[in-house]
Chains A and B, each alone.
Chain A
Amino acid sequence: MKSVYMDHSATTPVDPEVFQAMIPYYTEIYGNSSSVHSQGQKAHRAIEQAREQVASLIGSSPGEIIFTAGGTEADNQAIITFMNHERQKKGKHIITSAIEHHAVLHTCDFLVKQGFELTVLPVNPFGVVEPDVLRAALRSDTALVSVMHANNEIGTIQDIRTLAAISHEAGAAFHTDAVQTVGKIPVSVKELGVDLLSSSSHKLYGPKGIGCLYAKKGVRIGSYLFGGAQERNLRAGTVNVPGVVGFGKACELAQQRLPQNTAQLKVLAQRLTRGISDAIPNSRLTGHPVDRLPGSVSMVFDYVEGESILLMLDNYGIMASSGSACTSGSLDPSHVLLAIGLPHETAHGSLRLTMGKDSTQEDVDYILEKLPPIIKNLRIMSPLGQ
């Protein structure tokens, strides 16, 4: 059966070049990077080379990169340790947005339980955090603002540069979860003006279980795991050398391929969006129509439910995702779709198709052939909208 993977915002396959680069670090150069002997030195050099590759992609200096076990850990460490440090200084107020990943939202909720104060900013119907809304929420004791660079569900890209500048005017630091953007669109920490940034390897054709936190020189964060001096005392634990090497290689490749991939994905996404909108009545694109992730097509269909769409697509080998309650593991549909103002019943009918570097026009045509009849059949079966 044909297999069309349309879930690249969930994860990507490891690029064969990345995999090749990792292999020696499992069986040949297996030393602990903290060891003094030559095996350890080789592993250490590999980590430092990867640090340069990652830093080069996001325009930082290598010394500002801390390797973590992924984006979730980077978000947790950035927010928790920064706020712990600022508690007695700038203050205990933190600001985030209603559409953040749970790695940020649940971390903020944890801090609230510890006595911190949190403001959750609303977004407009495109999923954009409006500068004036942030400006009004900033207080003299706001220590940190955390707003994601691009949203994983609806693809909207935020104007981080403006939001960071506004935060800095009020003396607050700025963190961004850039898990969805690093390697997909140009990301420069200097141009964005951020103090902290989280990134994950497996979203850009690197291995799972590795990511990094960028912390601008002078920004005080602390250790989140204890028991070793690795990563300049900021991340204890034996370094995942093959993972780090793979992440570095993935960043190097992303930097080379980024312009071409982005252009190609934009064309495909446009065709897919238009094709679906033309073929299926009562369907709408969610998120921003222009300022969005290049390969991301997020739609809602009235009168049908997301899990049913996913399983019917999977029957044809098309793999996608949805923000319906059935796929979120709770009784409510995605918090992101509710935050952009969709009613519950509409949010249940969401479908996210996220393309990657190997997606083709044929894939788009195949989806345009299979999806419309699926929605039509589910609507015949539905008591709504008749």
Chain B
Amino acid sequence: MEYSQKVMDHFMNPRNVGKIELANGVGEVGNPTCGDIMHIEIEVKDDKIEDIKFRTFGCAAAIATSSMVTEMVKGKTLEEAEKVTNRTVAEALDGLPPVKMHCSNLAADALHEAIKNYRSGGTTLANVVKGCCKEEPDSLLGQGQKIRL
């Protein structure tokens, strides 16, 4: 598995890390169980994203997509920002390894949650936790018997 130079750049030198004192929109997606949590805060003024910051727990792809999405929408109108998708974020990073596409590529979702939170007038964290883990049932094992003690 290899990351593009852009991913490595955004991972090693992430843009817009931190918190916003006067945030009026907050969004969070992911789940610590899965190993990825993306938290985005926005300050909206006159329908524009004046400021945006992120904090992310996760792998290089999770951090790079978070950093990239903040760069893509800073100074943009909410309408423009809403058009950004996980796919366009990945494209802006010159792609992600296939295994990372669904589990660590949630930064646009976090942004959309923050915008939704702003529109509903709250700075309280929209407690949206999106599951990403699938349990593999042991029942697929077939005719024998397996006991976990």
Contact = CB atoms under 8 A, between A and B. Distances in A.
Interface stretch (B50-58, B68-76, B82-90, B114-122): B50-58
B60 A311 contact: yes
Interface string B61-105: 111000000000000000000000000000000000001100110
16 contacts: A109-B141, A109-B146, A118-B144, A118-B145, A119-B147, A122-B148, A305-B62, A308-B11, A308-B59, A308-B63, A325-B35, A326-B104, A331-B134, A333-B35, A345-B57, A383-B56
A89 interface: no
A307 B59 contact: yes
Interface in A74-114: 98, 109, 111-114
A137 B8 CA distance: 49
A15 interface: no
Interface in A109-155: 109, 111-122, 133, 137
Contacts of A333: 35
Contact of A111 (B12, B32, B144): B144
Contacts of A344: 32-35
Nearest to B55: A383
B144 A116 contact: yes
Chain A contact-residue range equals: 35 or more
A329 B36 CA distance: 15
B28 interface: yes
A308 B60 contact: yes
Nearest to B32: A345
B17 A381 contact: yes
Contact of B37 (A98, A116, A326, A383): A383
A361 B11 CA distance: 30
B39 A383 contact: yes
Interface string A44-88: 000000000000000000000000000000000000000000000
Contacts of A118: 144-147
Interface residues of B, number: 40
Interface string A303-316: 11111100110010
Contacts, number: 109
Contact of B35 (A109, A113, A326): A326
A308 B64 CA distance: 11
Interface in A17-37: none
A325 B143 CA distance: 29
A324 B59 CA distance: 9
A382 B56 contact: yes
Nearest to B33: A344
Contacts of A137: 149
A7 interface: no
B35 A345 contact: yes
A303 B57 contact: yes
Contact of A113 (B28, B56, B143): B143
A116 B147 CA distance: 12
B128 interface: no
Nearest to B102: A331
A332 B33 CA distance: 8
Contacts of B39: 383
Nearest to B141: A112
A380 interface: yes
Nearest to B8: A311
B142 interface: yes
A256 to B, nearest CB: 39
Nearest to B28: A383
Contacts of A119: 146-147, 149
B35 A348 contact: yes
A1 interface: no
Nearest to A98: B148
Given A307-B59, A326-B59, A344-B33, A331 B147 contact: no
B132 interface: yes
B129 interface: no
Nearest to B39: A383
Contact of A384 (B32, B33, B59, B133): B32
A254 B11 CA distance: 41
Contacts of A386: 55
A186 to B, nearest CB: 31
Contact of A380 (B17, B104, B145): B17
Interface string B13-26: 01001100000000
Interface string A335-350: 0000000001100100
Interface string A358-386: 00000000000000000000001111101
Given A326-B35, A331-B34, A120 B149 contact: yes
A332 B133 contact: yes
Given A114-B144, A344-B32, A344-B33, A384 B149 contact: no
B146 A383 contact: no
Given A112-B144, A311-B11, A305 B57 contact: yes
A325 B99 CA distance: 11
B148 A315 contact: no
